[in-house]
Amino acid sequence: MKVRLFLYLLLVLHLFLGLGALSGGGMLVLQPDGSLLGMEPGWLAQSPFSSYLIPGLLLFIFSGLLPLFSFLGLLLKPECRWANALNVYPNRH
């Protein structure tokens, strides 16, 4: 019972993080000047980026897509032989 509660909480958090990062990263990729999110280009003055395109891509991929893939893996529990070869706990998914 307690494990199920934590699994549902983890699923909700992964979904919330993934969808939020997809929308934020997508908006930064669509408008690299940050205007869709109300961000100013001057905020990047001391950073290595001239626009929000690269940070938007990083946000979209690493904080958006990867948590959603993890969400799907936790929800569907697919059987992957190559992933099981890397699993140090073979009796757990």
Question: Using one digit for the tens of pLDDT, what is the confidence trace for 6-40?
Answer: 989 999 999 999 999 999 999 999 999 999 999 99
- Is the pLDDT at 90 greater than 90? The verdict is no
The residue count for the chain: 93
DSSP 22-46: HHHHHHHHHSTTSGGGT--GGGGTT
User: What one-letter code names the amino acid at 19?
Assistant: L
Phi, psi of 45 (to 5 degrees): -60, -40
Report pLDDT for 93.
Answer: 66
CB 37 within 8 A of CB 29: no
Report pLDDT for 23.
Answer: 97
CB 24 within 8 A of CB 18: no
Question: Using one digit for the tens of pLDDT, what is the confidence trace for 34-66?
Answer: 999 999 999 999 999 999 999 999 999 999 999
